[in-house]
Chain A
Amino acid sequence: MSTSKVIHALYNDDDILMDAVKKVKADHHHIEEVFTPFPVHGLDKAMGLAPTRLAITAFFYGITGTAVAVWLTWYTMIADWPQDIGGKPSFSWAENMPAFVPILFELTVFFAAHLMVITFYMRSKLWPFKQAENPDPRTTDDHFLMEVAVHDNEDELKALLASTGAVEINVVEKH
């Protein structure tokens, strides 16, 4: 397995980090990763990350939930055993529909919420007992870290990052 070098530039302010990200992008270097202790608004846009499609998945999960609820209410209340319960019209699903709306709504929300969260965990590879990946524990408290890959341009990159206000620059061997 080949080893490659990366530069870890540490910052102590999110505004400085944002400007640094823009400068590094403008200089056409690829930013591998940025580690921050809290969400920095606009960072994904500045890094040029593709927008998330999580909301789209949630929409389809919601429709799935509605469909399940329609099937559930139709099968149990109309098809399987259409009892007369307090005079409610159980002749067809549509006639008794208002009584099913609370279930339709709740199952829609239930499916959309839970499946979206599970999708999020899977896509971001999060689970219990997972090995933490932060390269520097300070990034969970008060430091911001930008990771840039080195391709025989170590000195040039170091100079560039130093000029963006990095408080610490480390060159790290990465497997």
Chain B
Amino acid sequence: MYQFTGKLKIFALALMVVGLLGTVYNFMSAPSTLEEAKEILAKQEAAHHGGHGAANAHGDDTHHSADVQSESHKEEKKSEEHVGAAAADHKDAASSEHKEADHKSEAHTEKVDSTHHESADAVHETKEETHKETAHAEAPVAHHDNAHGEDHGDHHAEHAFHQMQNRPWSAFYVAMLFSLGVSLLVLAFYAAQRIAHAGWSVVLFRVMEAISNNIHYVSIFMIIFIILTVMHQNHLFPWMADGVFDTQSPNYDPIVDKKHWWMNVPGWAIRSIVYLTGWNVFRFILRRKSIQQDNGDLKLHKNLYNISVGFVVFFMVSESMASWDWIMGIDPHWFSTLFGWYVLATFLVSALTVVAIVTIYLRSKGALPFVNDSHIHDLAKFMFGFSVFWTYLWFAQFMLIWYADMPEETTYYAQRFNEYKLPFLGMVVLNFAFPVLLLINSDFKSIPWLVILGGVAILVGHYVDLFVMIMPGTVGGQWGFGIGEISAILFFIGLFIFATFSAVSKAAVLPKGNPFLHESETHHYYVIEHRGEDNSHH
């Protein structure tokens, strides 16, 4: 029986406390009024344009008037803030934006010598036209089109203000969803192992069950989040904003209105609760019956098989729908058919990585004496295989949209490519190139520290993946990686450690009633070196 040591417990609690404090701080420091947001914007401008002097006024103006896309230029090209340079920058933008961006720059260049106000107005007019042309198909942020009647500077500030207000929510949401998704996929993998009558993985069953305990804990936070969202405490989902479905409102969005049958607050909330309830109930039953099975009852084994089949069917449908509701719903103008699979792949490879890391940790503590190098090797094979699978889906989704280049789909990637270039491209290195090149070697797959090295890259990479799915639609150009994001990650890591290891300590780590146990204990893969084990053993 594994003992959840006081040291680890304190470590987990410390992570949670630090994470919670950081999150609270992050919420406190987010601007609560438009004026505060303007101050922050002014500071950002000053930081980016320091030293340019009077000539900057126009440069700043360009950025204020051009919308989200030019925000990225501001981030990337801090030193080149002249109007000409900005115009050149626009030409670098993805082809779908060419027309629009050039349009604006031209309008601006014509007015270079006039006053700020005129210049801003001119650009503003051009922008309105472009908006009509593209029929809302660009940046998928609801607040975007609200304030056309108002002065332009205010419009931009208000837009940025909403994004800043979203940031602490998004930071917490990304970490929460990642933690929930990974734990859920561990349970799905566990159920799949039962359905497949897998012989190798039986000794890891209790580890997987323990990790899936995290579902219960994260679900509590998820439910609180759902309630707060329904109460309009945050603006993460633009289709939940006031007036989106009201033809009389300046917020009216005909595209989202057509999706009203699916995208409505009661439906969303009910579906969310159904997914969470279903997953929690299945986890609870599977765990309880699995512990009962220690008495060796074969009827229970069959029963667990049937429940697993039921869970996997429910899971495949609910996971797909949850990914529409919780992730794709953030960009309500955009849609992709393989999105559910893509989200599944992200969480599945992370889940296997987490199983491998927890197993290696527990084995190093001597809690899993029956886990040998072959088991680690198999887990690493899954990490490798599903990394490729994730890349396949990521690329399939990207390439089909890039190739056809239909404006309503392409904006999704144009925004990510322009504003989130480093995380967007960096995650392909972390999720594909690095783990695949590292784990392609058969011997490396059973060397614990190499598996952990690859695993950390995979986990960081898939966090970034979810970050890039959520952030562009909620915080847009105001994104960053700071105290809020780190705190949320720390909090959920602490929660994960607490949930997992308290569950490991509550039941025998060897499921001794399982009829495949012996096969699993003697699992042996001949081709690899078994360090510290008898190689001739078979």
Contacts and interface: CB of A to CB of B under 8 A. Distances in A.
Interface stretch (B64-72, B397-405, B488-496): B397-405
Contacts of A126: none
Nearest to B537: A42
DSSP class of A's interface residues: helix, strand, loop or mixed? Answer: helix
Interface string B391-422: 00001001100110100000000000000000
Given A87-B405, A101-B395, A22 B526 contact: no
A45 B526 contact: yes
A46 B536 contact: yes
B10 interface: no
A40 to B, nearest CB: 10
A45 B535 contact: yes
Contacts of A101: 395, 399
A41 B402 contact: no
A42 B536 contact: yes
B418 to A, nearest CB: 15
Interface residues of A, number: 13
B538 A42 contact: yes
A41 B538 contact: yes
Interface in A70-120: 87, 89, 98-99, 101
Contact of A89 (B95, B395, B398, B442): B95
Given A46-B536, A59-B440, A89-B95, A41 B526 contact: yes
A45 B403 contact: no
A49 interface: no
B442 A55 contact: yes
Contacts of A59: 440
A72 B399 CA distance: 20
A101 to B, nearest CB: 7
Interface size class of B (residues with CB under 8 A): 10 to 19
B402 A98 contact: yes
Contacts of B398: 98
A45 B527 CA distance: 9
Contacts of A51: 527
A66 to B, nearest CB: 13
A131 to B, nearest CB: 31
Contact of B403 (A22, A55, A99): A99
A98 B403 contact: yes
DSSP class of B's interface residues: helix, strand, loop or mixed? Answer: loop
A45 B398 CA distance: 46
Contacts of A87: 95, 405
A42 B399 CA distance: 44
Interface in A25-44: 41-42
A22 B526 CA distance: 16
A59 B95 CA distance: 37
Nearest to A15: B538
Contacts of A98: 395, 398-399, 402-403
Contact of B536 (A22, A55, A89, A99): A22
Contacts of B440: 59
B388 to A, nearest CB: 11
A99 B398 CA distance: 11
Interface string B440-476: 1010000000000000000000000000000000000
Interface in A133-162: none
Tell me which of A22, A41, A87, A89 has the highest count of chain B C-beta atoms within 10 A of its own C-beta.
A41
Interface string B517-538: 0000000001100000001101
Contacts of A45: 526, 535-536
A5 to B, nearest CB: 30
Given A89-B95, A98-B402, A42 B395 contact: no
Nearest to B395: A101
Contacts of B402: 98
Contacts of A22: 536
A89 B95 CA distance: 9
Nearest to A43: B526
A42 B526 contact: yes
Nearest to B95: A89
A59 B436 CA distance: 12
B431 to A, nearest CB: 16
Nearest to A59: B440
Nearest to A42: B526
Interface string B288-302: 000000000000000
A46 to B, nearest CB: 7
Nearest to B527: A51
A71 to B, nearest CB: 21
B523 to A, nearest CB: 13
A45 B524 CA distance: 13
Contacts of B538: 41-42
A173 B43 CA distance: 93
Given A45-B536, A101-B399, 15 more contacts: A41-B526, A42-B526, A42-B536, A42-B538, A45-B535, A55-B442, A59-B440, A89-B95, A98-B395, A98-B398, A98-B399, A98-B402, A98-B403, A99-B399, A101-B395
Interface of A: 22, 41-42, 45-46, 51, 55, 59, 87, 89, 98-99, 101
Interface of B: 95, 395, 398-399, 402-403, 405, 440, 442, 526-527, 535-536, 538
20 contacts: A22-B536, A41-B538, A42-B526, A42-B536, A45-B526, A46-B536, A51-B527, A55-B442, A59-B440, A87-B95, A87-B405, A98-B395, A98-B398, A98-B399, A98-B402, A98-B403, A99-B399, A99-B403, A101-B395, A101-B399
Which 5 pairs from chain A and chain B are nearest by CB? A98-B399, A42-B526, A98-B402, A41-B526, A42-B538
